[in-house]
Chains A and B, each alone.
Chain A
Amino acid sequence: MTDYAELTTREAFGKILTELGGQDSRVVVLDADLSRSTMTKYFAQAHPQRFIQCGLAEQNMISIAAGLATCGKIPFASTFAVFASSRCFDQVRMCVAQPKTNVKVVSTHGGITVGEDGSSHQAIEDIALYCSLPNFNIVVPADSIETVEAIKAAASTEGPFYVRLGRSKTPVVYTSGCSFKLGRADTLREGNDAAIIAIGIMVYKALEASELLEKSGVSCRVINMSSIKPADRQAIEAAAAETGAIVTAEEHLLHGGLGSIVAQVLASRSPAPLASLGIKDTYCKSGKPDELLEANGLTVGDIVDAVKSVLARKR
């Protein structure tokens, strides 16, 4: 048995995909010359007939995946998040989103923690782009354990999916298992003074922040909003109503992603002070992942400060 907790999210993806491929011959995998990085190489080794190497042609890859889907296949198309989003956006829109083809786009190297490769490789707009597409389900797993569940859900749920994974090893949030459900937020920690809603690598940091805040007497709810579309609006409303102060945290631009979705729900249904952590309308630079997170206000300390700021604005 694979110990997924030991793996990066992309390794977990590669392994579970290979397993799913063994169970269901409809699963086919496409990659654009990055299979050794996206880890679809495991699938390629185990099921070479159903691995489709597309070379450096992401637009072609997405449309091919759609053609396969119309014939009953369950295609997983994989590349880095920058290329899986902006590079082939029209193909995703025309061949997947509008006709609702059963294509699963799974990207790796999402966000700025791709690090040293610099801005060309740091996907900070991908969630916004995919959120803009009708018919898409979008999942940003918090760790490798949730990745496995998200990929299983994508394979077994009819319709377009975008799953965003990272590059580096992330701490495990779900040490005792995970029951991922599309459209449902997972409350990892109860609390009544404020709520932190996070996705991806920021979920573990939110938990760390909540522990620090606990020591100073602040009871913080922590919500993993991995299923970002459809979003669990009820969980957001309830958090706002019950805690009265919200912080969001994402490794993505402030606009168009988690922060925007939460702001929309709060503004229309359940107003509460909100502080959003994310990248502030700028491209980032080369650097070590932790240094980049620090430079962009995405550390545990930044979350703590944000919680304090919304608490101060509470009536």
Chain B
Amino acid sequence: MSRIQAYSREFMHCMGIPGHMPLPMTEYSIEDLKGMARKLRRHVITMISTAGSGHPGGSLSAADIITALYFRVMRHDPKNPRWPDRDRFILSKGHAAPILYAALAECGYFPLEWLTTLRKTGTCLQGHTDSTLTPGVDMSAGSLGQGLSVGIGMALAARLDKKEYRTYVMLGDGECQEGQVWEAAMFAPNYKLDNLTAIVDFNGLQLDGPTSKIMDLEPFVDKWRSFKWEALVIDGHDMQQIVDALQKSAQVKGRPVVIVARTVKGRGVSFMENNVDYHGKAPGKSETETALKELA
């Protein structure tokens, strides 16, 4: 059996059985979540290092938020990725795919062994997210600026079907330079989509440098508020704040919520933190060892 065939067999297995009800989720404490976030960060380093390419900076800045979503906040079922009532998550900043894959694997959507196949020929874990290949990924991404619109479609579908699920979309701050983000930002409050939460992983850096220099987004929170969003500003590495904000977002009625999470690009690895070079560069062998030690 070829590697591709082996992966696709596992893929079919992991797509689950329709109609299956979710298993009750273990309640992760804040401390548990912090531990899981550290674990996911280690996966990210190992994955990108093994692949020899990828985007560590934006994966690490998003790690705590993704952990809170997958291990505490979202209702989802790893054994049934297409459960119709599941909460939806779209990683609009698709280059942070490694952190999402790490979370999905730890949840049990697919075997942990898949993680080190990242970016390799025949893998189900593509360089940027691909909904046709990865169990638990609802929409392909990678060309920035589109995920919030997709999330609006999912939120509209929930309303039409009178379903309770919530849609979460994570964007990068640099990504918010894309015009389509603001088309979506205009749309969601007009349709009073209170089943939609946007989360901006505001790490302040993009490929070419600081967002403030490349194309300043400020006053960023005011922009969302002027578009009639409920805006929450948090420390995107404070697990309690993240969980509280995500849960609070589900309580807001009559309009969508954006959580602007102030984060540090490369968070958790000293030499990657706030270092624009690690937007899209894999760590070498000794750097990987250092990073994994720091994250131990």
Chain A residues close to B by CB (< 8 Å): 28, 49-50, 52, 54-55, 57, 59-60, 62-73, 75, 90-91, 93-95, 98-100
**Is B154 located at the chain interface by the 8 A CB criterion?**
yes
- Asked if B132 and A64 make an inter-chain contact with CB atoms under 8 angstroms apart, the answer reads no
Residue of B140, B143, B184 with most partner-chain A CB within 10 A: B140
Q: How far is the CB of A51 from chain B (nearest CB, A)?
A: 11
Q: How far is the CB of A86 from chain B (nearest CB, A)?
A: 15
Identify 15 residue pairs between A and B in the complex whose beta-carbon atoms are under 8 Å apart, listed by A's number.
A55-B186, A57-B183, A57-B186, A60-B183, A63-B147, A66-B139, A67-B152, A67-B154, A67-B155, A68-B153, A93-B143, A95-B140, A95-B149, A99-B131, A99-B139
- Asked if B154 and A94 make an inter-chain contact with CB atoms under 8 angstroms apart, the answer reads no
Known contacts A91-B180, A99-B140; A64 and B160 CB within 8 A of each other: no
Tell me, in angstroms, the Cα distance from A71 to B139 when the chains sit together: 11
Residues of B133-163 contacting chain A, CB below 8 A: 138-143, 146-147, 149-158, 160-161
Inter-chain contacts of A60 with B (CB < 8 A):
149, 152, 180, 183-184, 187
Which of chain A's residues has its CB closest to B94's CB? A94
Residue of A64, A67, A94 with most partner-chain B CB within 10 A: A67
Inter-chain contacts of A94 with B (CB < 8 A):
140-143, 146
- Asked if A71 and B187 make an inter-chain contact with CB atoms under 8 angstroms apart, the answer reads no
Q: How far is the CB of B81 from chain A (nearest CB, A)?
A: 12
- Asked if B160 and A65 make an inter-chain contact with CB atoms under 8 angstroms apart, the answer reads no
Known contacts A67-B149, A95-B140; A72 and B157 CB within 8 A of each other: yes
Known: A64-B150, A68-B153, A73-B157. 19 other contacts (CB 8 A): A28-B156, A49-B160, A55-B186, A59-B183, A60-B152, A63-B152, A66-B150, A67-B155, A68-B154, A68-B157, A70-B139, A70-B153, A70-B154, A70-B157, A71-B84, A71-B154, A72-B84, A93-B143, A94-B141
Q: Ordered nearest first, which 9 A-B pairs have the shortest CB separation?
A: A67-B153, A63-B149, A71-B157, A60-B183, A57-B183, A67-B150, A64-B153, A68-B153, A67-B154
Tell me, in angstroms, the Cα distance from A52 to B156 when the chains sit together: 9
Select B187's contact among A57, A70, A75, beta carbons within 8 Å.
A57
Which of chain A's residues has its CB closest to B151's CB? A67
Residues of B156-190 contacting chain A, CB below 8 A: 156-158, 160-161, 179-180, 183-184, 186-187, 190
Inter-chain contacts of A72 with B (CB < 8 A):
84, 157, 161
Inter-chain contacts of A50 with B (CB < 8 A):
160
Residues of B48-100 contacting chain A, CB below 8 A: 84
- Asked if A63 and B150 make an inter-chain contact with CB atoms under 8 angstroms apart, the answer reads yes
Inter-chain contacts of A52 with B (CB < 8 A):
156
Inter-chain contacts of B184 with A (CB < 8 A):
60, 63
Tell me, in angstroms, the Cα distance from A8 to B130 when the chains sit together: 40
Tell me, in angstroms, the Cα distance from A60 to B152 when the chains sit together: 9
Number of A-B residue pairs, CB cutoff 8 Å, is: 102
Residue of B84, B142, B150, B179 with most partner-chain A CB within 10 A: B150
Tell me, in angstroms, the Cα distance from A90 to B147 when the chains sit together: 13
- Asked if A28 and B139 make an inter-chain contact with CB atoms under 8 angstroms apart, the answer reads no
Tell me, in angstroms, the Cα distance from A55 to B184 when the chains sit together: 11
Which of chain A's residues has its CB closest to B138's CB? A70
Tell me, in angstroms, the Cα distance from A239 to B142 when the chains sit together: 43
Residues of B108-130 contacting chain A, CB below 8 A: 130
Known contacts A71-B157, A99-B132; A55 and B139 CB within 8 A of each other: no
Inter-chain contacts of A73 with B (CB < 8 A):
157, 160
Tell me, in angstroms, the Cα distance from A70 to B158 when the chains sit together: 11
Known contacts A66-B139, A67-B152; A28 and B160 CB within 8 A of each other: yes
Tell me, in angstroms, the Cα distance from A60 to B140 when the chains sit together: 16
Inter-chain contacts of A98 with B (CB < 8 A):
130, 132, 140
Inter-chain contacts of B187 with A (CB < 8 A):
54-55, 57, 60, 64
Inter-chain contacts of B190 with A (CB < 8 A):
55
Select A64's contact among B138, B142, B149, B179, beta carbons within 8 Å.
B149
Known contacts A67-B156, A70-B139; A95 and B132 CB within 8 A of each other: no
- Asked if B140 and A64 make an inter-chain contact with CB atoms under 8 angstroms apart, the answer reads no
Q: How far is the CB of B44 from chain A (nearest CB, A)?
A: 24
Residue of B149, B154, B187 with most partner-chain A CB within 10 A: B149
Inter-chain contacts of A68 with B (CB < 8 A):
153-154, 156-157
Q: How far is the CB of B206 from chain A (nearest CB, A)?
A: 19
Q: How far is the CB of A175 from chain B (nearest CB, A)?
A: 39
Tell me, in angstroms, the Cα distance from A100 to B143 when the chains sit together: 16
Residue of A64, A72, A100 with most partner-chain B CB within 10 A: A64
Tell me, in angstroms, the Cα distance from A65 to B152 when the chains sit together: 9
Tell me, in angstroms, the Cα distance from A72 to B143 when the chains sit together: 24
Inter-chain contacts of B153 with A (CB < 8 A):
63-71, 75
Inter-chain contacts of B160 with A (CB < 8 A):
28, 49-50, 73
Which of chain B's residues has its CB closest to A61's CB? B149
